[in-house]
Amino acid sequence: MTLLNLAHMKSRFLLLILSVFVLFGCAKQHAQTTDENVDVVKIYNIVILDRSASMYPLRGAAVQGYNGILEVVRNAQEQNALVQQNYITLSFFNDSVTNVFDCDTIRNIPDLLLDDYRPIGNTALLDAIGISLDSLKIKLDSLENATAVVTIISDGLENASKRYSIFAVTDRIDALKEHGVMFVFMGTNQNVEQTAASLHIDNYRVFEYTAEGMKEAWQSGIDASADYYERMSQYNKDTKGMSKQERNEYYRDRNKEDGWFK
């Protein structure tokens, strides 16, 4: 056998070994992304963040807190990859509404930078909620197993919305709550309890109008988010085999029982 033939045989053998490893790796990867005993639930984490001028003193704390939520969702995705797919929407609002990210998978979401968040203008709170919920409803209606958490953060009262009334917004919130969506309101410089009640939101948190006050509020939201994602991994196991309506009702009832803030 010539040296050339020997080299050729070695090359073919190495190629065969490499192919086996590649096929094994693909099979292993496929096995890790499915679980026959659990239906994968898509969880949409919607953050609606006030970017009006009065938020400027709280700018750093707002960015830090939002990034803390991202870290919780990333950890939840890593720990529950077989049973959850997590998505992020971040909307800013002042006189208008800006979607920074719109239902992107958590792996595609970078941390927010201070330069990304420059408060200015007024407070179109109702428009921000209405636009976000209309978009969310389209996604949830098209999916068999999906739910969401909607977190709204504002330091002031509504004063700039043009498209949505309070009645239009509460109709949307009530409908989505019946489908298992969790709503959270965090606010300051207003009657937060009254504002949350007017929006038909049961879970609310008041924070002082200081950077430290906002950090504390975000931390409570971060802790609650971690608890929620842990619960959802169990909820999803409990609802295997249910119809879409049965599953949504289960999420709704458990949300009422377990709440958000402890």
pLDDT tens-digit series, residues 98-149: 999 998 999 999 999 999 999 999 999 999 999 999 999 999 999 999 999 9
DSSP one-letter string for 128-146: HHHHHHHHHHHHHHT-SSE
Residues 72, 98, single domain; the answer is yes
Q: 3-class DSSP state for residue 206? A: strand
User: In terms of domains, do 68 and 191 share one?
Assistant: yes
Question: Alpha-carbon distance 190 to 57, whole Å?
Answer: 17
Query: Tens digit of pLDDT for each residue in 45-56?
Result: 999 999 999 999
Provide the residue range defining the domain that includes 66. 38-258
Distance CA 127, CA 114 (A): 24
More confident residue, 198 or 25: 198
Contact 231, 258 (CB under 8 A): yes
C-alpha span between 144 and 164 (Å, rounded):
28
Query: Hey, which residues does 183 pair with through a beta bridge?
Result: 150
Q: Do 27 and 151 share a domain, yes or no?
A: no
Mapping DSSP onto H, E and C, the string for 83-96 reads: CEEEEEEEEEECCC
Same domain, residue pair 62 and 156: yes
Residue 22: pLDDT over 70: no
Q: Within this chain, do residues 106 and 223 fall inside the same structural domain, yes or no?
A: yes
Higher model confidence: residue 21 or residue 77? 77
Cβ-Cβ contacts under 8 Å for 226 (sequence gap 6 or more): 72, 75, 76
Selected residue with higher pLDDT from 16 and 231: 231
The pLDDT assigned to 9 comes to: 46
172: closest CA among 187, 185, 184, 183? 183
How confident is the model at residue 210, as a pLDDT?
Answer: 93
Structure tokens at 144: 């068999």
In the prediction, which pLDDT does 103 show?
87
Do 158 and 233 have their domain in common? yes
Q: What is the pLDDT of residue 6?
A: 43
| Average pLDDT, integer, range 61-78 | 95
Q: Do both 145 and 228 map to the same domain?
A: yes
- 55 shares a domain with 127: yes
Alpha-carbon distance of 206 to 195, in angstroms, equals 11
Q: How many domains does the chain have?
A: 2
Please, what is the average pLDDT of the chain?
86
Q: What is the DSSP string of 32-87?
A: HT--TTSPPEEEEEEEEEE-SGGGGGGHHHHHHHHHHHHHHHHHHHHHTTTTEEEE
> For 147-157, how does the pLDDT look when each residue is reduced to its tens digit (9 = 90+)?
999 999 998 88
Let me know whether 143 and 216 are in one domain: yes
Q: How confident is the model at residue 3 (pLDDT cuts 50, 70, 90)?
A: very low
pLDDT at position 137 is 96
Which pLDDT score is estimated for 38? Answer: 53
pTM: 0.85
Contact between 129 and 187 (Cβ < 8 Å): no
Are 139 and 244 members of one domain? yes
CATH code, 120: 3.40.50.410
